[in-house]
Amino acid sequence: MTPSIYLDHAATTPLQPAVFEAMLPYLNGHFGNPSSIHAYGRAARKALNDARDLIANELGCQPGQLVFTSGGTESDNLALFGVSNAYGKDKKHLITTQVEHHAVLNACRRLEELGYEVTYLPVDGSGVVSLTELEAAVRPETFLISVMYGNNEVGTIQPISEIGRFARKQGILFHVDAVQALGSEEIDLSDLPVDLMTFSAHKINGPKGVGALYVSPHVRLSPVLFGGNQERKRRAGTENVAGIVGFSKAVQFAKENLSEKRQQMERLRQRFLLTLQSCLNPESGFIVNGNSDRRLPHILNVSFPGTDTETLLMNFDLEGIAASSGSACTSGSFELSHVLEAMNLSPEIAHSAVRFSFGWGNTEEEIHRAAEIAATIVNRLRK
């Protein structure tokens, strides 16, 4: 059964029709390999170059500073392993946070197995990292700081500009996972003090299987895949031309509609919360997790004390509501979210948390209906 109300846009988003139309020619007639020198290859190369130029222009960087990858996970891994391989002979320490996506956390754990030292910074109860603790964690051998822009589970936005300015003063490279922020936050790489930034197409109504890593020109980056000379010898493998064309169209759509989307997501969020307030028993109610001031507008993490996440999600699904417990990369396990655990939430709050994430296609009417259904289920389970 296809869920009738999709509230899991932080996991993936539906393909925007204009993106699909832009991709079609490169899935059929223009099928050439962009590394080939004949007419078929040149047509593919032109599409690739045009897409790169468009994305670079929208993000405020130079085309040559973008490395296309298979998605956010590969981009995170390329950033961490590529920089570690380039700088790790003399320096062996990097800093991250306890609430990063597993694409960063598990890469860091692998680096520890290879002899690197990693500091995993704690966060406060709203999921924000302390600048003071970050500064105190720096050592002479620190070569990289990796902190996500906006959290994929609770939506909390980190002080990226402040961290970046500090890192530059210390001569430390700064990587930012901006997978959830792209399309929700204004990103201008000509202004942000970051050295590497990760993006993914399928979070912004683009295709799955394509992403990008921004690499500042002064950064040395060793490849982690070996083969051809694609992507200026930084990422071997035939480029996903159709996916990259779709990615560029999705970035263009996201940037052109950024203000409208932010306003719409805030309206949907407020409608959902107000409906919950009116339908839930006031003595038990619900708790919103994350930072109330600095947050991504499309992510809403709510705990319903007196219930449990697994039972809630199964009941929601039976009633046609698609939500999640957090990162789609760890779904199915129903283990306690590492993000909520790092925020030191009580077991009752952490074990009853559900992430609702909104996106294009959601209407205020269906959000109201979804919240009513959710409240009915919560009230029933509490009885």
Q: Measure CA 51 to chain center.
A: 21
Yes or no: say if 196 and 174 are a contact pair by the CB < 8 Å rule: yes
Q: How far is CA 134 from CA 122, 129, 167, in A?
A: 9, 8, 10
DSSP at 319: T
CA–CA gap between residue 140 and residue 170 (Å, rounded): 9
* Given 61, 108, 279, 329, the catalytic residue: 329
What are the backbone angles phi and psi of residue 129, rounded to the nearest 5°?
-80, 150
In 3D space, the residue among 343, 381, 180 whose CA is nearest the CA of residue 265 turns out to be: 180
Yes or no: say if 350 and 303 are a contact pair by the CB < 8 Å rule: yes
Residue 279 is a catalytic residue: no
CA–CA gap between residue 189 and residue 211 (Å, rounded): 16
What are the backbone angles phi and psi of residue 193, rounded to the nearest 5°?
-85, 65
Yes or no: say if 79 and 175 are a contact pair by the CB < 8 Å rule: yes
Beginning with the edge strand found earlier in the chain, give each strand of the sheet holding 93-97 in spatial order: 66-69, 211-215, 196-200, 173-177, 142-146, 93-97, 117-121
> How is 81-116 classified by DSSP, letter by letter?
HHHHHHHTTT--EEEEETTS-HHHHHHHHHHHHTT-
In 3D space, the residue among 254, 265, 257 whose CA is nearest the CA of residue 297 turns out to be: 265
CA–CA gap between residue 168 and residue 172 (Å, rounded): 6
DSSP at 167: H
Yes or no: say if 378 and 352 are a contact pair by the CB < 8 Å rule: no
In 3D space, the residue among 48, 47, 40 whose CA is nearest the CA of residue 68 turns out to be: 48
Across the strands, what pairs with 322? 6
Across the strands, what pairs with 215? 196
Catalytic residue set: 329
